[in-house]
Amino acid sequence: MNLTTNQSSEFAIYDSGMLSDYVTALAWSPGGEILAATSAAGEVVLWNDGNAIELQSGGGKSVDCVAFSADGKFLAVGGQDGQVKIWREQELIATLENAPAWVDKLAWNHTSNLLAFSLGRYVQVWDADLGEIVVTLNFDNSSVLGIDWRSDGQYLAISGYQGVKIWESQNWDEEPYFLSMPTVSVAMGWSPDSKYLASGNMDRSVTVLDWSNPDPWIMRGFPGKIRQLAWSEATTELGAPILASSSVEGIVVWEKLEDESLGWEARVLTNHMDVINAIAFAPHSFLLASAGADGLLCLWSEAAQVSQILTGATAGFSTLAWHSQGKFLAAGGEQGELIIWAKEI
């Protein structure tokens, strides 16, 4: 374990507050003006430059996922009560009732106002412009564990037991592409350049599919199941993004090699002393943030070495989110702490 850092503080605390329970999810609006936070008590709170607006109070069932639409007009949340709620500029415009299903995954299309959300073994897609469900997709193999739209909006990937199914959004009736694997896809996501799809798996492996090549790379050797994945928006000299994956308290960063047969080269990042609950790259950068149950939020310069350690969640960090321009970094704590750091100029 290496706790050395450089002397320059890249981020300084900007604001902080408290929710009444574990912070389950965070999301910045596309323009970066508003931060949405949800809690295990059912709170939905908006933070806007020091002003907190409560869209929904606590005391109910957990709200587990939150996301802004690509144009920033809509905010959606889902949770334990099976409800998907959608606000437009702080006005609740729709409540989709799905009890007893638990909605713990949702994602907006990057180019249109289509919202995909999980319902057990199914995913429904709701069109905000029409105000109606446009399709129900059957994952079939298990409960849905991951949902992600490709950045061009053309494909929707859904993951769970035995792999990832990928539907074309212009033709929902067509059979999905199936990235089959003999394990459970726990974490999944498209690269920002739309070229790669990564799956972090229960059998301690990572699968990376190049969309132009049917033969995926499979990387092994992790200490436990892959809990988190994060792609960089920035690309290397080869023109490929970097992939970070977390397992237990360790992070492995994968960099694409020129030789296709060799695939991806790994480097291991160690600093956390407990399970890592969230990882994310800063926009247009190789700066990686990792939030752990050990109460450490580590910033890794060039996804290689710790440049700063942030604290403030005594019982551990639960989640984090980067501002859309990388100016701010927000994190939630297991006791309800909500902390925002600002990049020092």
What are the pLDDT digits (tens) for 169-198?
A: 999 999 999 999 999 999 999 999 999 999
Closest CA to 183 of 198, 163, 166: 163
Amino acid at 135: V
pLDDT at 95: 97
pLDDT class of 345 with cuts at 50, 70, 90: confident
**What is the tens place of the pLDDT at every residue in 59-93?**
889 999 999 999 999 999 999 999 999 999 899 99
Average pLDDT, the chain: 94
Cα–Cα distance measured from residue 284 to residue 125, given in angstroms and rounded to the nearest whole number = 29
pLDDT at 65: 98
pLDDT at 49: 84
Cα–Cα distance measured from residue 295 to residue 312, given in angstroms and rounded to the nearest whole number = 7
Residue owning tokens 């949902």: 147
pLDDT at 8: 46
Q: Give the total residue count for the chain.
A: 345
- Strand-pair category, 122-127 with 114-119: antiparallel
- Spatial neighbors of 267 by CB under 8 A, at least 6 apart, are 252, 253, 255, 304
Closest CA to 243 of 279, 296, 203, 295: 279
**What is the tens place of the pLDDT at every residue in 288-331?**
999 999 999 999 999 999 999 999 999 999 999 999 999 999 99
Cα–Cα distance measured from residue 191 to residue 210, given in angstroms and rounded to the nearest whole number = 10
**What is the tens place of the pLDDT at every residue in 18-68?**
999 999 999 999 998 999 999 999 999 999 988 999 999 988 899 999 999
Instruction: Count other Cβ atoms within 10 Å, centred on residue 250.
Output: 17
Q: Which domains does the chain have, with CATH numbers?
A: 23-138 (2.130.10.10)
pLDDT class of 9 with cuts at 50, 70, 90: low
- Any alpha helices (H) in 100-165, and if so which ranges? none
**What is the tens place of the pLDDT at every residue in 223-244?**
889 999 999 999 999 999 999 9
